[in-house]
Structure 1
Amino acid sequence: MSEKKINPMLKMGLEMGPIVAFFVAYLRMRDQSFEIAGNSYDGFIIATAGFIPLLVITTAILWKLTGKISKMQIATLVLVVVFGGLSVWLNDERFFKMKPTMIYLLFGGALGLGLLRGQSYLKFVMEEMMPLKEEGWMLLTKRLTYFFLALAALNEIIWRTQSTDTWVYFKTFGLTAAVFAFFMTQGKIFQDYAIEEEDA
């Protein structure tokens, strides 16, 4: 099924909304404690508990409006539900903090497996957005594989050695900025390996 076009701002809002909502909720509740069913939960756990259904709802809306969601979005949603759910159920924030590590290990591992098989799985996901020659896809995939594995390692270092506040800022802004910066620095690949109209 081909993807239906929707307003780009609406699409961005649905994709980024839950992350922003989690950040705002955490800032408002980080110093509070909540008694629920005889158990005490801090603000981080409550913000996580709200983030999970919100992400499910916005992903479902995005699917309804566009008729399609990517495999990366599905994998992210599953890991959020599993690791976020474990954090809420066990009242242990460590599981949710490990979630970015698992996501980037999954993406990096999948791309790395494709490279070992002589294929670029990234091409299958993004070919319509960025038409490149095969050599370009392989080079970009190799770089992105290393990048994802580096982000996984960095997330582990941050959440294990820094405060929860630092990790929340890192997750909300640092990871997003890192991914944006990565693609912005790959301009030479897009320039050197772009498929021109006459090649098509």
Structure 2
Amino acid sequence: MTEEIDMAEEKKINPMLKLALDMGPIIAFFVAYLRLRDEVFTINGTEYSGFILVTAGFIPLLALTTFILYRLTGTVSKMQIMTLVLVVFFGGLTIWFNDERFFKMKPTMIYALFAAVLGVGLLQGRSYLQIVMSEVLPMKHEGWMILTRRVTGFFVFLALLNEVIWRTMSTDAWVNFKTFGLTAGVFVFFMLQSRLFQTYGIETADGEEG
């Protein structure tokens, strides 16, 4: 872990470039879906909806941006690796069975898996968030434990919410939720933790609080 952190410090990249690599595939998926959602494509005698074709394009695009991020920074987080693995798995099932429901399940599995991992750490009296984020967000252990419990509950909520939306609403509604709802939800959640950060933040060497 120390080697990964040191390498990441040596190979910092422009924050806007990192944001583009992180969000680019999601935005591309949304734009492509809007253009192809009403189209039907026949390949080798089998009809595929625009959603299936967009999913097929999303998989290599996410793999490419993850690889580029690794080449530029020298490291990729375990969360990004797990996300890529689940995208390949559920995206592959979606294409193989020509059934969009598999890809819609992906966020459920991602958030459920993250919640389970964090939950195991909590049972052990540990915060896995602290392990991977303490360098950029110095905070007392008690604060990390509180944040980890909140994040675990938040991930469970997102997993359940995704299930409700894809099972009860249209594909358009789910795509909008996946593209904008999840991103906005995560942003708002961490904004609401500002008081926690202030209460348990550790003052760094330059006099700033983490």
Q: Is TM > 0.5 for Structure 1 vs Structure 2?
A: yes
AA aligned opposite 1:92:
D
1:98 is displaced (CA, Å) by: 0.2
Aligned to 2:88: 81
1:156 is displaced (CA, Å) by: 0.2
Residue by residue over 1:79-107, the C-alpha shift from the partner in whole angstroms, topping out at 9 and shown as x without a partner, is 00000110011100000000000000000
Paired residue secondary structure (1:13): helix
Instruction: Tell me which of 30, 42, 52 is aligned to 1:23.
Output: 30
1:197 is displaced (CA, Å) by: 3.4
Residues of 2 paired with 1:85 and 1:107: CA distance?
A: 21
The alignment of Structure 1 onto Structure 2 pairs a total of residues equal to: 200
Aligned to 1:103: 110
Report matched runs for 1:128-139 at 5 Å: 128-139=135-146
The normalised TM-score by structure 2 is: 0.93
Instruction: Tell me which of 163, 169, 172 is aligned to 2:179.
Output: 172
Instruction: Tell me which of 163, 169, 176 is aligned to 1:162.
Output: 169
1:16 is displaced (CA, Å) by: 0.5
The normalised TM-score by structure 1 is: 0.98
Residues of 1 paired with 2:160 and 2:132: CA distance?
A: 24
Aligned to 2:120: 113
Residues of 2 paired with 1:53 and 1:89: CA distance?
A: 15
The answer to whether structure 1 residue 91 and structure 2 residue 98 are counterparts is yes
Instruction: Tell me which of 40, 47, 50 is aligned to 1:43.
Output: 50
CA RMSD, aligned part only? Answer: 1.3
The gaps in structure 1 that reach 5 residues or longer are none
Residues of 2 paired with 1:91 and 1:109: CA distance?
A: 29
Residues of 1 paired with 2:198 and 2:157: CA distance?
A: 25
